[in-house]
Amino acid sequence: MRTRKIIIPATNTSASLKTIKRKTNVTDVAKAAGVSVATVSRAFNIPGAVKDDLRSHVLTIANSLGYTPNPAAKALRLQKSHMVGVVIPTINHAFFAAMLDSFQEVMSAAGYLVIVVTCGFDNNKVFDQVRRLIDRGADALLLVGRVEDSRVRDLITEKKIPVITTYSYQNDDSIPSIGFDNYAAMRLMVSYLVRLGHKRLVMIAGPTQGNDRQQARIRAFYDTREANNIVEPWHVIELSYNGAFAEGAEAMRKIHAEFPDTTAVVCNSDSFAFGVLAECRKLALRVPEDISVTGHDDQDFACMLAPPSPQSLYRQKTWVDTPPMHSYMHFPTATRSLQSTLMRTF
């Protein structure tokens, strides 16, 4: 069989190559600014090591040349990613959204990128997400809730990753925390109801599996009953947070049908309280004349409830902005300044 050699003429690529614009690098900036490469690097990475006027000059030249540092190269060189990982139960909750907004604002101003992952409300599921964030180079972590999984503690100790927890107060020296005492907050709330004369209470709680926040509130609920020698039965209805408004309304229907003598409903979130109040109107129950309702979290819409529900309040933004932090309880008839249940440990 005869074969033929096919010769394909080379294309003239020189013209096209000339049109490809080379990306500006740090050397170009240094030459244009009349400084060393090291000075350019410090201007971007260690601002305090360069005089303000010189840094401004370098940044102006860099901007005119269209130069921006390569994040990957910078991370490799400095062995830092400038990424902070956040592990939260869900983004489908106004409270966590507000917390993230404040955290993102502060971290961004400090030059950090915030990476958010969710794990549900079970603290036992935190480990996998923490490991993924560390594997991807997170410089530090913010976790919601107590760190009760020994695997998480061992991993952050091994990797020497700075970690802080929030939303729950962790009373030990191993992990810094900025949170509040869920148990104390609920004791204050329920004790107030007892002082008003309520003896038949029902709590609407969120998911408790691996959820130290809900567990602490439920424990405080029953401990208050025992401390006041109340013999009437108290009940807890556990719900998910999937459609909390509707779930709160459904729980109120259950309370009205199964526990008709209930005089106060303690809601572990304002979302549940919103649904409860809506259902009370449908059931022709007057609040607070026929039944009292409390909420928790001070969500934006809480002040629009009619009547406003008593709440354990705290301000999310103070967690990362302005110490000292304050906590207080608000009731329809008055504002009472009580001992703070918001705590910090470092």
Instruction: Convert the pLDDT of each residue in 319-330 to its tens digit.
Output: 333 233 233 333
Q: Which two tokens stand for residue 294?
A: 């409390």
At a CB cut-off of 8 Å and minimum separation 6, what does 167 contact?
Answer: 99, 144, 145, 179, 180, 213
Instruction: Convert the pLDDT of each residue in 46-96 to its tens digit.
Output: 777 888 899 999 999 988 888 877 655 555 455 567 899 999 988 887 778
Identify the CATH number of the domain defined by range 182-339: 3.40.50.2300
At a CB cut-off of 8 Å and minimum separation 6, what does 74 contact?
Answer: 45, 82
Q: Which two tokens stand for residue 78?
A: 């400095």
Instruction: Convert the pLDDT of each residue in 190-212 to its tens digit.
Output: 999 999 999 999 999 998 888 88
Q: Which two tokens stand for residue 6?
A: 């096919």
**What superfamily in CATH does domain 24-69 come from?**
lambda repressor-like DNA-binding domains (1.10.260.40)
- Residue entry with tokens 């060189």: 77
Assess contact for 228 and 194: CB atoms under 8 A.
yes
CATH 1.10.260.40 location in the chain: 24-69
Q: What is the dihedral of CA 247, 179, 264, 204, to 10 degrees?
A: 30
Terminal Cα distance for the chain, rounded: 84
Provide the CA 267 distance to its chain's centre, in angstroms. 21
Assess contact for 271 and 245: CB atoms under 8 A.
yes
CATH 3.40.50.2300 location in the chain: 79-166, 182-339
Task: Say if residue 63 is exposed, middle or buried (CB neighbours under 10 Å; 0-12, 13-18, 19+).
Answer: exposed
- Residue entry with tokens 């259950």: 254
Architecture per CATH, 79-166: 3-Layer(aba) Sandwich (3.40)
Is it the case that residue 266 has pLDDT exceeding 50? yes
Instruction: Convert the pLDDT of each residue in 285-318 to its tens digit.
Output: 998 889 999 988 777 777 766 665 555 443 333 2
**140-144 and 113-118 as β-strands: parallel, antiparallel, unpaired?**
unpaired
- Across 103-131, b (16+ Cβ under 10 Å) vs e yields bbeebeeeebebbbebbbbebebbbebbe
Beta strands across the sheet bearing 311-314: 235-238, 201-205, 264-267, 292-296, 311-314, 327-331, 334-336
Provide the CA 16 distance to its chain's centre, in angstroms. 51
Q: Which two tokens stand for residue 1?
A: 């069989």
Instruction: Convert the pLDDT of each residue in 223-263 to its tens digit.
Output: 999 999 999 999 999 998 777 889 999 999 999 999 999 99
Query: In Å, how far are 72, 130, 278 from 85, measured between CA atoms?
Result: 17, 8, 38
